[in-house]
Every structure is written in C-alpha cells, then in structure tokens.
Amino acid sequence: NAGVTQTPKFRILKIGQSMTLQCAQDMNHNYMYWYRQDPGMGLKLIYYSVGAGITDKGEVPNGYNVSRSTTEDFPLRLELAAPSQTSVYFCASSSLRANTGELFFGEGSRLTVL
Amino acid sequence: GNSVTQMEGPVTLSEEAFLTINCTYTATGYPSLFWYVQYPGEGLQLLLKATKADDKGSNKGFEATYRKETTSFHLEKGSVQVSDSAVYFCALDGSSQGNLIFGKGTKLSVKP
C-alpha cells in the first residue's frame, strides 16, 4: 500500500540549478496537489491538477512548473533555484476535491538552496 | 479571502492530560473545516472534519465542533498518549478551486 510516494526526501541545490521533485500515487486519484511549507508557516498551494493533461496555478506558482501526462505522476520542476525556494514540499492526491474528500499526502521533500 | 489562525506551539503535556488546540477561521459562507495530523517521518493525514455548523468531527478520541458563532474549530482530547505526539494542522475550504487553506501547525509533545 504505497499511497503517495515522493522522491527525493532530501536535496541540496546551488543557486541557479534546476531539479524535479517526483510524485507518484497508486490510488487512481484524479486530483493531485503540490504544497510547500516554510518554517513556522502553513502549507501553501503551488500547483494542482484535476486530471491527466490538466494543471492550474495555486497561490505561489512562480519559479515552478508542473506536468500531468498520466494519472499516477505529477512532477514539480524547479528552474533556476533560489534561496527563497528552500522549503519542505508536499505532494498530495484525492479522489474528490480537497474540500469534499480526503487528501493523501506524501512524506515530504526537504529542499535547501544555497 | 478565507484564512485560518492556529495557536502557536509547541505544546508539551504529560500523558493523560487534557488537550486543546485552538483554531479560528475567517471565511465567507460556511466552509468545511478539517484537522490534519502529521506524525514524525510521515505525511499529513486527515484526523477529522466537519461540514456544517454545530457538526462534531471525531476520530481516535479527538473531537472538534464547528462553532459558527465564534468561528472556531478547536481540537480536544480528554486524555493524551505519548503516541499522540505529532504536528496538528487546522484547515478550511479555501476557494472555488476546492483546495484547502492550512494553518501553521501546532507541534504537540506528550511526555510519559
């Protein structure tokens, strides 16, 4: 019962580098989300998807890109990493909209940009 | 826009103590309200929810009542255990997108 799997769990980047955070779910959920959590702050929505081929911006999308080519996968791309992107990133999925159903979260990916 | 304010942590309690974690919200209309919990080394998981005023959500001995008059959704448990040590997040329905707005989280440590 894997649920939502995120990789990597930890990563250190240099300013200007790029990387992709991977997220996969095996529950056949249509809805997938990327959140970031800065120290002492709540989770903020970066991007979300309501199904394969459909993505939309959340509250803090600048500096990120996403794609949803399959139901299972929802990778988050960071281009030209900046120190402001140092955060913990959570991927989540749900079968219904988040305000109706239950979000299932991955364990998080801790990213540090130096 | 909708927002949620959660009490600052960390909260440290002895086993079998009574727990209250305060959560208040600002919203238009009557959003659904949630408590999520994150145990060490794990992702967040839904603890309980309430979808309308005066509803009480409950799970694993935790309870929270949707109070429209005080715009609150405080989390309570009568007798905490060491295994309840975790970070607790209050959340509400954020927008027409159907996404959630989360509070900052409250870290609870329960000592034996």
How close B17 gets to chain A, by Cα (Å)? 25
Whether residue B98 has pLDDT greater than 80 = no
Q: Do A98 and B98 touch (CB under 8 A)?
A: yes
Please tell me if residue B45 touches chain A, with a CB cutoff of 8 Å: yes
CB atoms within 10 A of CB B106: 20
Cα distances from B42 to residues A25, A27, A90, B35, B84, in angstroms, run: 15, 18, 11, 16, 13
Q: Do A45 and B99 touch (CB under 8 A)?
A: yes
Residue from B87, B100, B107 whose CB has the most chain A CBs within 10 Å, to mutate: B100
pLDDT band at B78 (very low <50, low <70, confident <90, very high): very high
> What six digits make up the tokens of B41?
């080394």
What does the mean pLDDT of chain A come to?
92
CA distance A47 to B58: 30
Whether residue B93 has pLDDT greater than 90 = no
pLDDT band at B55 (very low <50, low <70, confident <90, very high): very high
**Residue A61 has what pLDDT?**
95
Contacts of A39 (CB under 8 A, 6+ apart): none
How close B101 gets to chain A, by Cα (Å)? 7
**Residue B35 has what pLDDT?**
96
> What six digits make up the tokens of A100?
């109706």
Q: Residue A53: CA atoms inside 13 Å, Cβ hemisphere, count?
A: 0
Strand partners, B17: none
**Residue A18 has what pLDDT?**
96
Whether residue B1 has pLDDT greater than 70 = yes
**Residue A98 has what pLDDT?**
64
Question: Which residues of chain A carry a pLDDT beneath 50?
Answer: none
